[in-house]
Amino acid sequence: MSTFKTLDDLESGQRVLVRLDLNSPVEDGRVQDNRRFDRHATTVRELMEAGHRVVLMAHQGRPGDDDFVSLEQHADILAEHVGRDVGFVDSTYGESAVEAIESLEEGEALLLENTRMTDDELPEESPEAKAETEFVGTLAPLFDAYVNDAYSAAHRSHASLVGFPLELPAYAGRVMETEYEANTAIASREFDGRVTMVVGGTKATDVIDVMNNLGDTVDRFLLGGIAGELFLRAAGHDVGFDVAGMDLFDDQWEANHGTIESLLDDRGDQITLASDLAYEGEDDERAEIAVSDIDEKDRGYLDVGSDTVSEYDSVIRDSEAVFVKGALGLFEDERFSKGTVGVLEAIAETDCFSVVGGGDTSRAIEMYGMSEDDFGHVSIAGGAYIRALTGEPLVGVEVLSRD
Ligand SMILES: Nc1ncnc2c1ncn2[C@@H]1O[C@H](COP(=O)(O)OP(=O)(O)O)[C@@H](O)[C@H]1O
Ligand SMILES: O=C(OP(=O)(O)O)[C@H](O)COP(=O)(O)O
């Protein structure tokens, strides 16, 4: 277990700088409410009620992507969950940010602009290098304490996550504490029966990197989403278009095809790929095609097909534990929700031990009328949770635990 300090150790009346993970789906420019807001609201409310001056940092999207937007809407959504006003300033550490921080009263909260809009936040560098950035050097002297609640971003060595804890007394927030304990406990748990991992989502690089290390814990991987399409492409099928505006597929293919090919060579018998896929037909209805019938790369696929869902359903019903990392399709559109909802319902209906992770995947549970009570643990983390399952330390947690 980690040795980090928690909010129970924080003295009263502090000026506290808090890192949240409010990274959310953005549809037509509108930030979508999701579990990250209500989970982090617990930490923010506790700090406000304790009379601290609370300044919040978070990121949204990656520079160049469609979902790389301001945090202005996030402040309003968060305020609704906290039940108190949360101010917003459209600067991360510029003059207006410093002025707003200095004029904050006890019990008030303020959200700063998207950390990734500063040059210092990215790219990944050592905590020591990040601690020396202008971003950290400007803000740290304005605070008494730093709280990291962003477990789901703790695998990134970015300034707001690893620089501040070297400069300020550092504490874990309530979400960090809960997620860390749950995911660390899961990593060391042993199962007698079959352990299955459903792998999907769009951030294929995060998951492919760790699949080899999970190969001894996990008996069977069921693939879908963009990650699954990369595997199908490596297996010789003509699938995989970029998802408009997100530049996902080709970059991820370049970065990962070598690893995927060796995974298929070394662990092919543990990996099940979709046998059919779904797409938008001419009449805008869901249409399906067997993977063996795809002979040219002429369309994008948005879900796994019905035969695949049945096959995955049987594997899940015969498993003792099921871990989910990422959605199997574009479930936000009901036509392409069958894969994601199918595996989640199979898990919910059996008494297997389960963990569902992926920033967006946890949203599907509520969206399709399922209950979180039917799952062992619903994590708001994707990449961080899957890395934790391998037992690999997360840099953001590691710096919190330093003396
Ligand atoms: N075939 C696909 N095409 C487009 N988007 C997809 C596809 N499969 C999954 N997705 C999207 O991936 C997102 C899943 O993200 P999530 O489950 O949080 O995993 P990640 O951690 O990879 O972001 C969902 O919002 C879903 O719409
Ligand atoms: O949403 C996140 O990760 P996740 O989708 O793996 O849960 C985190 O906010 C990290 O974001 P990043 O993967 O752009 O660094």
Percent of the chain past pLDDT 70, that is, above it, reads 98
> What is the Å distance from ligand 2's center to 363 Cα?
14
Q: How far apart, in whole angstroms, are the C-alpha atoms of residue 37 and residue 77?
A: 7
Residue 205 has pLDDT above 90, yes or no: no
Q: Which atom of ligand 1 is nearest to the CA of 327?
A: 17
Least confident of 4-18, 45-59, 91-105, 374-388: 374-388
Greater confidence (1 vs 373) lies with 373
Can you tell me the mean pLDDT for 370-386? Answer: 93
Which residues share a beta bridge with 287? 279
Q: Tell me, using a 6 A CB cutoff, whether residue 186 lines ligand 2.
A: no
Q: Which atom of ligand 1 is nearest to the CA of 225?
A: 8
Q: Cα dihedral angle (154, 155, 161, 163), rounded to 10 degrees?
A: 140
Q: How far apart, in whole angstroms, are the C-alpha atoms of residue 242 and residue 65?
A: 13
Q: How far apart, in whole angstroms, are the C-alpha atoms of residue 308 and residue 124?
A: 38
Architecture of domain 189-370: 3-Layer(aba) Sandwich (3.40)
Query: Which residue, among 308, 298, 197, 310, has the nearest Cα to 239 in the 3D structure?
Result: 298
Greater confidence (297 vs 394) lies with 394
Q: How far apart, in whole angstroms, are the C-alpha atoms of residue 173 and residue 42?
A: 9
Percent of the chain past pLDDT 90, that is, above it, reads 82
The answer to whether 157 touches 127, Cβ cutoff 8 Å, is yes
Residue 37 has pLDDT above 90, yes or no: yes
Q: Does domain 5-179+394-400 have CATH number 3.40.50.1260?
A: yes
Q: Which numbered ligand comes closest to the C-alpha of 65?
A: 2
ipTM of the complex: 0.94
Residue 199 has pLDDT above 80, yes or no: yes
Ligand 2 pocket mutation, candidates 23, 67, 68, 379, criterion most atoms within 8 A of CB:
23
Q: Which residues, judged by CB distance below 6 Å to any ligand atom, belong to the binding site of ligand 1? A: 25, 200-203, 225-226, 243, 301-302, 326-327, 329-332, 358-361, 382
Q: Is the peptide bond prior to 63 cis by the omega test (within 30 degrees of 0)?
A: no
Q: What does the block give as tokens for 133?
A: 């950035």
**Residues whose CB is less than 8 angstroms from the CB of residue 202 and which lie 6 or more positions away in sequence, other chains included:** 225, 226, 243, 246, 248, 326
Q: How far apart, in whole angstroms, are the C-alpha atoms of residue 316 and residue 327?
A: 15
Helices 72-82 + 35-49 axis angle, to 10: 70
> What is the Å distance from ligand 2's center to 285 Cα?
31
Q: Which numbered ligand comes closest to the C-alpha of 227?
A: 1
Ligand 1 pocket mutation, candidates 330, 333, 363, 389, criterion most atoms within 8 A of CB:
330
Q: Tell me, using a 6 A CB cutoff, whether residue 23 lines ligand 2.
A: yes
Q: How far apart, in whole angstroms, are the C-alpha atoms of residue 22 and residue 49?
A: 21
Residue entry with tokens 């301001």: 70
So where are the chain's domains? 5-179+394-400, 189-370
> What is the Å distance from ligand 2's center to 206 Cα?
9
The answer to whether 75 touches 86, Cβ cutoff 8 Å, is yes
Tell me the whole-structure pTM to 2 decimals: 0.91
Residue 145 has pLDDT above 80, yes or no: yes
Tens of pLDDT, residues 332-359 = 999 999 999 999 999 999 999 999 997 7
Q: Hey, do 5-179+394-400 and 189-370 end up sharing a CATH topology, with the first three levels equal?
A: yes
| 3 state DSSP class of 170 | strand
Q: How far apart, in whole angstroms, are the C-alpha atoms of residue 339 and residue 230?
A: 17
- For residue 165, the 8-state DSSP code is H
Tens of pLDDT, residues 289-330 = 999 999 887 788 999 999 999 999 999 999 999 999 999 999
